[in-house]
Amino acid sequence: MRWAIVLLITHPEIQARLQKEIDDVIGPNRQPKMADKTNMPYTSAVLMELQRKANILPFNVMHKTLADTEIANLPIPANTTVLAQISTVLDDPEAFPHPERFNPDRFLNADGKTFNATAVDHLVPFSLGKRQCAGESLARMELFLILVALMQRYTFSVPKGGQLPDMTPVYGGTQFPQPYQCKITLRH
């Protein structure tokens, strides 16, 4: 959620559009529920773009090849340690034109209601293959419910006299945003 807040602070127009969809579908008082998600394509697109840009775990868990294999005409012997670098997929300009930009619309077709299959297929924030994150469905549910509940009730912005957050990630076991200041305003 730290990346969600910092990205929405730096893109108030996206935050406002997200809040409009939340207001239109859920209103100011009712708690969000997972059944709402099917009627909220822009919210879904924002969540996908947040996951793509945040990429909190840019390196996947290590694997070993079980047998000699070949990828793109490159021979890979058995017992080779393989580390999938998810950021190469999430920042691929063929799948995500101008990947440096925060643009939830990349996940939607021109109608704004259906999803761009190419972008959705290339979104792999929970890893790849048989051993991808076991908690993916729970994480997606929590991300939706928490983000919608926060955006339904609050607007996040740069404090008066403050600066836009530094978007350079801090790297460790994960990557997270630099410390930043945020003004939180009750919406209703």
pLDDT tens profile 134-169: 566 777 789 999 999 999 999 999 999 999 999 998
Annotated binding site: 133
Q: How confident is the model at residue 90 (pLDDT cuts 50, 70, 90)?
A: confident
Mean pLDDT for the chain overall: 89
Q: CB atoms < 10 A from the CB of 135, how many?
A: 10
Measured between alpha carbons, how far is residue 1 from residues 46, 54, 64, 97, 130 in Å?
Answer: 13, 9, 32, 24, 26
- For the cut 80, the answer to whether the pLDDT of residue 10 exceeds it is yes
**Is residue 42 within 8 Å of residue 108, measured between CB atoms?**
yes
Please tell me which residue, 159 or 132, carries the higher pLDDT value. 159
Q: What is the pLDDT of residue 148?
A: 98
Q: What is the pLDDT of residue 15?
A: 98
Annotated binding site for heme: 133
Task: Please compute the mean of the pLDDT values over residues 36-50 and round it to a whole number.
Answer: 95
Q: Beta strand pairing status for 81-85 and 74-76? A: unpaired
Q: How confident is the model at residue 29 (pLDDT cuts 50, 70, 90)?
A: very high
Give CA–CA dist 8/183, Å, rounded: 12
Residues with Cβ within 8 Å of 179's Cβ and at least 6 positions away in sequence, in order, are none
Q: What is the pLDDT of residue 112?
A: 95
Residues 105-129: tens digit of each pLDDT? 999 999 999 998 888 787 776 666 5
How many C-alpha atoms does 159 have within 13 Å on its Cβ side? 6
- Max CA separation in the chain (angstroms): 61
Please tell me which residue, 91 or 24, carries the higher pLDDT value. 24
